[in-house]
Structure 1
Amino acid sequence: MVTKDAGPRTGPGAVRHARPPAKQRSAYPYALYLPAAVVYLLIFLVPTVMAFYFALTRWTLFDSTFVGLDNFRDFLAEQNLRIGFQNTLVYAVVTSGLKVVLGMALGVLLTSRLRLRGFLRSVVFFPVLVSTVAVGITFSALLRPDTGLVNRALAVVGVDGPDWLGDATTALLSVALVDVWKGVGLATVIYIAGILSIPPDYYQAVAVDGGTAWHRFRHVTLPLSWPATYSVIILSFIGGLRSFDLIWTMTRGGPGFTSDVIASIIYKQYQAGFFGLSTAGNVLLFLIVTALVVPLNYVLGKRQVAL
């Protein structure tokens, strides 16, 4: 005998599955954001707002005088700023480009069937863990024209090595190559993660079609590792635009001003006691990085490939 549904039970024994109110559901997850929001507010937002204010003043540790846009005008009138801006762009493009190329090559190599790939991954990543200042001091000694190990090694094969850090034509490039040596390990790790996330079905399809290793790289690895390439380009480009510590340790912007970047010009103003001027330079550097990276991020983001 078929009976009609009597409807939901309402007695004391009924099991109720009523959903909690929306406010109750959202209060717990939002509370988890609070510690991070406080840290972000204190470490980033507050100093940023203060920097924009102090860029409009001439200040010391004890007082400040409002001067409006004078600091920005003085900084933009700096005679070495054009060289510094040019060097900053060249440095960022060279370092990010080489990290992409070498990182992908090492990523492909270290995801292949090498017996020592675990050990080689550790070796490649090791320079990332070393202090940037220590790397700069070490390579400054290695690149000395007379006693440096690099020129001594070149002399063995009959090559007269240049003054890597004392020649205006090689100083910035030498620092950039050291930067690549130190940072390519992080790019490699990103590429390893990106390559290992590609489903093996794609490689099997290429193998069924008789494709070679080049076809696997060209038609599978290269396009489907684009998220890793995107990350490496953005991170490396931002790092190159903001680079200071390695350049200052190795050349201090020299010889002369030929390897100065925007960050080193800012630091020289700070050393001279022009705190408001250097703060204005930092604000301008922040705006320059934002103006370059936001459009780049938009353009690269449109090329994302979905698996």
Structure 2
Amino acid sequence: MTAIVEKSSARSRTRAAGPAGGKRAKSPYPHWFYLPAAIVYGVLFVIPTVTSFYFSLTRWNMFSSKFIGFENYVTFFKEPALVSGLTHTIIYAVVTSGLKVVLGLGLAVLLTSQIIGRGYLRSVVFFPVLVSTIGVGLTFTILMDPEDGLINQSLALIGIQGPGWLTDPSYALLSVALVDVWKGVGLATLIYIAGIVSIPQEYFEAARVDGASAWQNFRSIVLPLARPATFTVILLSLIGGLRSFDLIWAMTRGGPGFTSDVIASVIYKQYQAGFYGLSTAGNVVLFLLVTAIIFPLSRFLNSKEVDL
């Protein structure tokens, strides 16, 4: 069974190399065909990015700006609330992406098996993805109310004293992270389902002939051949977690205190307070954080995909 997977990987590498010994085929389109896309990319990404870098070095408002160098960055990293927001962002991204990978893979394996109502269950799992993030946040804020919330009332029926999910500093950030997982795991499941159903059935038939168990099928066939789907889920979940704002703002507004503040909510609070230069510096820090994590991780995962 392992030999079958290895042969498939060898054929994939041969196809990837191509008939020209690894040389990429020349594009049939003239270079000026790329000009419209380059203009849109430059206007919507390059120019705003460069402008943000410049204004992060200034003290500015709607009418004037004064160049102050790296003073905004020094202030950013001296403020405990800002640094804790950066830490919370990383924790939030790791927790949500890890749970989405594990739960998404488990649900995908279940929903690609021969179970009754498989199509309906797929729709149910994916439905939260379609719901407004603000709507989900407001709904769970009510459900997690420590006094009148349905969750704590249900726990009280079986003799369990429910915590203050959103009011206890120890639970607030992780509570929002769990809601984020509930809302986003459907997309991870969908990606995994696409990866699993694309696996040729010959592998499973050969495993069945060899007398492989369900666990052996999962470990030796599904896990290796669904690796591209895993990489996609990891990258999308990490990007979403690092940039998270709307769900946290709807549920806790960074509270209680600053215990569930992430860098995006800190940036928003600084902007509300009129510290435009400091909030712009925070945006640059967030941009560099996402780039520093996602770019090398993407290169690493892609290299692992080729060497599968």
CA offsets, 1:139-172, max 9 Å, x none?
0011001111101111111111011000011101
Instruction: Report 1:39-188 matches (<5 A).
Output: 39-188=40-189
Larger radius of gyration between Structure 1 and Structure 2: 1
Distance in 2 (alpha carbons) for counterparts of 1:79 and 1:173: 20
Distance in 1 (alpha carbons) for counterparts of 2:54 and 2:153: 52
The residue type paired with residue 74 of structure 2 is R
Distance in 1 (alpha carbons) for counterparts of 2:43 and 2:29: 25
Q: Determine which of 19, 25, 29 is the counterpart of 1:26.
A: 29
Partner SS for 2:304 = coil
Does structure 2 retain, via aligned residues, the 8 Å contact 1:142–1:150?
yes
Distance in 1 (alpha carbons) for counterparts of 2:94 and 2:36: 36
The structure with the largest helix share of the pair is 2
Greater CA drift, 291-300 or 252-261: 291-300
**CA shift for structure 1 position 306:** 6.9
Does structure 2 retain, via aligned residues, the 8 Å contact 1:224–1:305?
no
The two structures have a TM-score, normalised by structure 1, of: 0.88
Partner SS for 2:59 = strand
Does structure 2 retain, via aligned residues, the 8 Å contact 1:137–1:250?
yes
Count of equivalent residues: 283
Cα RMSD of the aligned pairs, angstroms, is 1.8
Distance in 2 (alpha carbons) for counterparts of 1:236 and 1:34: 32
Distance in 2 (alpha carbons) for counterparts of 1:259 and 1:148: 20
Distance in 2 (alpha carbons) for counterparts of 1:232 and 1:210: 31
Distance in 2 (alpha carbons) for counterparts of 1:26 and 1:247: 46
Instruction: Report 1:135-284 matches (<5 A).
Output: 135-284=136-285
Does structure 1 retain, via aligned residues, the 8 Å contact 2:76–2:83?
no
The residue type paired with residue 29 of structure 2 is S
Does structure 1 retain, via aligned residues, the 8 Å contact 2:108–2:193?
yes
Distance in 2 (alpha carbons) for counterparts of 1:156 and 1:148: 13
Residues 53 and 183 (structure 1 numbering): CA distance in 2 closer, same or farther, change over 3 Å?
same
The residue type paired with residue 235 of structure 1 is L
Does structure 1 retain, via aligned residues, the 8 Å contact 2:104–2:188?
yes
Distance in 1 (alpha carbons) for counterparts of 2:139 and 2:36: 40
Q: Percent identity?
A: 64
Greater CA drift, 177-186 or 288-297: 288-297
1:287 aligns with 2:288: yes
Partner SS for 1:58 = strand
